[in-house]
């Protein structure tokens, strides 16, 4: 009956180790500090040794308990105290400062210049001259801050206003309406049906449908031969307003009535300002 | 094209735009964007009222174009 015994032990240890992994936290395995990595190994190896009867079950359980409870306790203290956190996890090391490599900091990390370059290359940085500042985090990951003229341009850098956009919601999947996400947008099935009808599409033909934050519907169909006019409502609206603005300007120059002239040119100006304001929201 | 019918066309254009703006201001989730659309609604509304008043005067002056 040896095998039943081992099986029962394996299953109970499986559950125990699984529970301890949950207890020890959600941290990604490659973000672990070397120390907590060793903790995981000790737990795993002890579990195996107990199952295969290499060590006595009581002493095995004691080892497991200590290696599970201590890290949890230490983590708890690390959250409460900053000095303890540093003592436990160490401190990040500055590798590059003001664009210059800190050679004296590389030494204690047992890192060569080649190692540093390789790490930076894996971050897609091939040229040292692009880096302003780089640190090695306590888990060994290297993060670099680029010089301001080498950073990716954002709309903010260009002084451009962009419309805020929330995440799109998927409302149709495999020809089925997802009521929950539709309801979270404040729409219902009736709205969906009228939208599909306007586009001349049946629900069964839709593979994926998404609604963006401004309420426009984007569809991908099963039948890719069908050319679908994707929403151009915003562009049309902008063009429409632009045309009206041009009309108003024309009226302002053509009319001889001074009062009407003033009214037309004021409205033309208002509409022009409005167009500038709407541009980021309607054209993108 | 007469002035009256030109103004009428622009008026129709603006009314169409107002409808679309109203739709967006209702279905946009983001509060800031909603405010911009509401603002735009107000401005187009004002222009539409101005144009309608102008149209009344024009039709009074040139009654032969009324209804065009």
- How many pairs of residues across A and B have Cβ atoms under 8 Å apart? 86
How far CA A113 is from CA of A116, A125, A138, A259, B33, in Å, comes to 5, 14, 19, 77, 50
Of B17, B27, B28, the CB nearest to A244: B17
Tell me if chain A has a CB within 8 Å of the CB of B20: yes
Q: What is the pLDDT of residue B61?
A: 79
Contact (CB, 8 A) for A147 and A132 = yes
Is A159 within a domain? Answer: no
Is A219 within a domain? Answer: yes
Gap between the Cα atoms of A260 and A254, Å rounded: 10
Q: What is the pLDDT of residue A151?
A: 87
Q: Based on the domain organization, do A58 and A120 belong to the same domain? A: no
Q: What is the pLDDT of residue B64?
A: 67
Gap between the Cα atoms of A148 and A153, Å rounded: 10
Band the pLDDT of B14: cuts 50, 70, 90. Answer: very high
Band the pLDDT of B43: cuts 50, 70, 90. Answer: very high
Closest Cα in chain A to B51: A264
Q: Based on the domain organization, do A128 and A174 belong to the same domain? A: no
Q: What is the pLDDT of residue A56?
A: 86
**Burial grade of A41 (CB within 10 A; 0-12, 13-18, 19 or more):** exposed
Q: Based on the domain organization, do A32 and A81 belong to the same domain? A: yes
For residue A187, which residues of chain B lie inside 8 Å, CB to CB?
A: 27
Gap between the Cα atoms of A164 and A281, Å rounded: 8
How far CA A211 is from CA of A262, A276, B37, in Å, comes to 43, 26, 18
Last residue of a domain, one of A150, A181, A196: A150
Is A163 within a domain? Answer: no
Cβ neighbours around A3 below 10 Å, total = 7
Q: What is the pLDDT of residue B15?
A: 93
User: Among candidates A195, A229, A199, A198, which has minimal Cα distance to A215?
Assistant: A195
For residue A271, which residues of chain B lie inside 8 Å, CB to CB?
A: 43-44, 47
CA torsion sign, A43 to A45 to A47 to A53? negative
Q: What is the DSSP string of B20-56?
A: HHHHHHHH---HHHHHHHHHHHHHHHHHHHHHHHHHH
Name the DSSP class of A72: H
Going by their DSSP bridges, the two strands A142-146 and A206-211 should be labelled as: unpaired
Q: What is the pLDDT of residue A194?
A: 87
Q: What is the pLDDT of residue B1?
A: 59
Overall number of domains in chain A: 4
Nearest 10 degrees: Cα torsion A112, A117, A121, A124? 130
- pLDDT tens track, chain A, 284 positions: 788 888 888 898 899 888 888 887 777 666 777 778 888 899 889 988 988 888 888 998 899 899 988 988 888 888 898 888 888 878 889 999 999 999 999 888 888 989 999 999 999 999 999 999 999 988 788 999 999 888 888 888 888 888 777 788 899 999 889 988 888 888 888 888 888 888 888 888 899 999 887 788 888 888 888 777 666 788 889 999 999 999 999 999 988 888 888 999 999 999 999 999 888 888 86
For residue A242, which residues of chain B lie inside 8 Å, CB to CB?
A: none
Going by their DSSP bridges, the two strands A142-146 and A169-173 should be labelled as: unpaired
Is A161 within a domain? Answer: no
CATH at residue A132: 3.30.240.20
Q: What is the pLDDT of residue B4?
A: 84
Band the pLDDT of B67: cuts 50, 70, 90. Answer: low
Q: For residue A252, what are the domain limits?
A: 234-282
User: Among candidates A47, A43, A48, which has minimal Cα distance to A21?
Assistant: A43
Q: Determine the residue among A246, A253, A281, A283 to mutate to test chain B binding: the one whose Cβ has the most chain B Cβ atoms within 10 Å.
A: A281
Of B28, B33, B50, the CB nearest to A267: B50
Last residue of a domain, one of A88, A109, A142: A88
Is A160 within a domain? Answer: no
Gap between the Cα atoms of A268 and A126, Å rounded: 53
Gap between the Cα atoms of A217 and A211, Å rounded: 5
Q: At what angle do helices A34-51 and A2-23 cross, to 10 degrees?
A: 160
Exposure pattern of A170-193 as b/e (b: 16+ CB <10 Å)?
ebbeeeebbeebbeebebeeebbe
Is A7 within a domain? Answer: yes
Q: Based on the domain organization, do A35 and A83 belong to the same domain? A: yes
Band the pLDDT of B2: cuts 50, 70, 90. Answer: confident
């Amino acid at each position: 009956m040896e095998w039943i015994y081992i099986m029962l032990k394996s299953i109970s240890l499986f559950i125990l180790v699984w529970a301890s992994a949950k207890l020890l936290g959600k941290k990604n395995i490659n973000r672990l500090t070397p120390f907590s990595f060793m903790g995981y190994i000790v737990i795993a190896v002890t579990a195996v040794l107990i199952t295969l009867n290499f060590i006595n079950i009581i002493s095995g359980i004691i080892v497991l308990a200590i290696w599970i409870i201590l890290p949890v306790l230490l983590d708890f203290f690390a959250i409460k105290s900053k000095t303890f956190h540093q003592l436990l996890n160490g401190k990040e090391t500055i590798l590059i400062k003001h664009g210059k490599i800190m050679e004296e900091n590389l030494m204690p990390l047992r890192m060569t210049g080649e190692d540093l370059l390789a790490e930076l290359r894996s971050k897609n940085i091939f040229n040292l001259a692009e880096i302003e500042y780089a640190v090695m985090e306590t888990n060994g990951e290297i993060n670099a801050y680029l010089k301001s003229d080498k950073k990716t341009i954002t709309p903010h850098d260009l002084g451009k206003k962009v419309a805020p956009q929330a995440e799109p919601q998927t409302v149709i999947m495999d020809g089925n309406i997802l009521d929950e996400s539709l309801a979270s947008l404040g729409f219902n099935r009736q709205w969906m049906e009228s939208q599909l009808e306007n586009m001349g599409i049946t629900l069964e033909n839709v593979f994926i449908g998404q609604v963006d934050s401004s309420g426009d519907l984007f569809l991908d169909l099963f039948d890719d031969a069908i050319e679908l006019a994707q929403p151009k409502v915003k562009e049309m609206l902008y063009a429409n307003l632009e045309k009206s603005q041009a009309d108003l300007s024309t009226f302002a120059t053509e009319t001889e009535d001074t009062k009407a002239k003033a009214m037309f040119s004021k409205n033309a100006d208002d509409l022009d300002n409005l167009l500038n304001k709407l541009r980021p929201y309607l054209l993108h | 094209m007469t002035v009256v019918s030109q103004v009428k066309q622009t008026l129709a254009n603006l009314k169409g735009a107002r409808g679309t703006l109203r739709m967006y201001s209702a279905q946009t989730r983001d509060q800031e964007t909603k405010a911009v659309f509401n603002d735009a609604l107000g401005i187009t509304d004002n222009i539409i009222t101005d144009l309608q008043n102008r149209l009344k005067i024009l039709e009074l002056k040139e009654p032969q174009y009324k209804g065009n």
